[in-house]
């Protein structure tokens, strides 16, 4: 079982590369952003709570995120080949909770793959995505807040996973296929 955390700032290509990883390696996929957007679309209580944070470029509280995660993970059953965690963890408490949740099931994170993309490029990609997808949080003001949150709350996870001995850095700027080749090499070596 290969559980992979695909990591990076908003706009670093986590979703795009996850799709390729699912297709090539038959992995399951949890995107916490997608889970929250679907709750918002369905107008659930969770969706209403999430909307306030998302439209403000802020993170949903850890306890709430963590409580959703185990349910989605368990929905894949026990025999899966591994799960890609996309957009989770985003804080150190979330990383600790993920480690604990997996270890309670006799599982673990096999690799954290960081897609490293310069800030200027992230901004360009997110503004473009906002024009194409109409995502309510892909506007310039909210993007700036999300990048700020990434630097202050999420980027410290790079060091956290380095200490766990499973951090892999990948240059996330350039050809999609080259980036995916680099990711594949990490997964194949696990």
Binding site residue list for ATP:
11-16, 129, 174
Catalytic residue from among 144, 146, 163, 178: 146
Supply the minimum distance, in Å, between the C-beta of residue 54 and ligand AMP: 4
Q: List the x/- string, 44-73, binding to ligand AMP by CB under 6 A.
A: ---------xx---xxx----x--------
Burial environment of residue 21 by CB neighbours within 10 A (0 to 12, 13 to 18, 19 or more): buried
Catalytic residue from among 20, 51, 129, 162: 129
Site membership for ligand AMP, residue 172 (CB under 6 A) = no
Is residue 129 among the annotated active site residues? Answer: yes
CA distance linking residue 133 with residue 181, whole number of Å: 27
CA distance linking residue 179 with residue 170, whole number of Å: 7
Apex 71 CA angle, 70 and 74, nearest 5: 80
Residues annotated within the binding site are: 11-16, 32, 37, 58-60, 87-90, 94, 129, 135, 146, 174
Site membership for ligand AMP, residue 161 (CB under 6 A) = no
# chain residues binding ligand AMP, by CB under 6 A: 16
Supply the minimum distance, in Å, between the C-beta of residue 32 and ligand AMP: 3
Contact pick of 8, 33, 82, 172 for ligand AMP (by CB under 6 A): 33
The SS3 of residue 145 is helix
Closest CA to 158 of 3, 8, 30, 29: 8
Closest CA to 73 of 65, 52, 14: 65
- By beta carbon distance, the residue nearest ligand AMP is 33
Residues ≥6 apart with Cβ < 8 Å to 70: 101
CB closer to ligand AMP out of 148 and 185 = 148
| Catalytic (active-site) positions | 14, 90, 129, 135, 146
């Amino acid at each position: 079982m290969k559980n992979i955390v695909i990591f990076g700032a908003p706009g670093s290509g986590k979703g795009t590369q996850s799709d390729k990883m699912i297709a090539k390696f038959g992995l399951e996929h949890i995107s916490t952003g997608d889970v929250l957007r679907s709750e918002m679309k369905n107008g659930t209580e969770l969706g209403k709570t999430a909307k306030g944070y998302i439209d403000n470029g802020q993170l949903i509280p850890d306890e709430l995120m963590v409580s959703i995660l185990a349910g989605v993970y368990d929905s894949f059953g026990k025999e899966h080949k591994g799960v890609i965690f996309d957009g989770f963890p985003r804080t150190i408490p979330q990383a600790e909770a993920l480690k604990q949740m997996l270890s309670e099931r006799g599982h673990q994170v096999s690799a954290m793959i960081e897609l490293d993309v310069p800030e200027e490029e992230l901004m360009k990609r997110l503004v473009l995505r906002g024009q194409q997808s109409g995502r309510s949080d892909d506007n310039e003001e909210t993007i700036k807040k999300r990048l700020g949150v990434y630097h202050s709350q999420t980027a410290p996870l790079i060091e956290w996973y380095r200490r766990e001995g499973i951090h892999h850095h990948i240059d996330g700027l350039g050809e999609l296929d080259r980036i995916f080749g680099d990711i594949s090499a990490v997964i194949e070596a696990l």
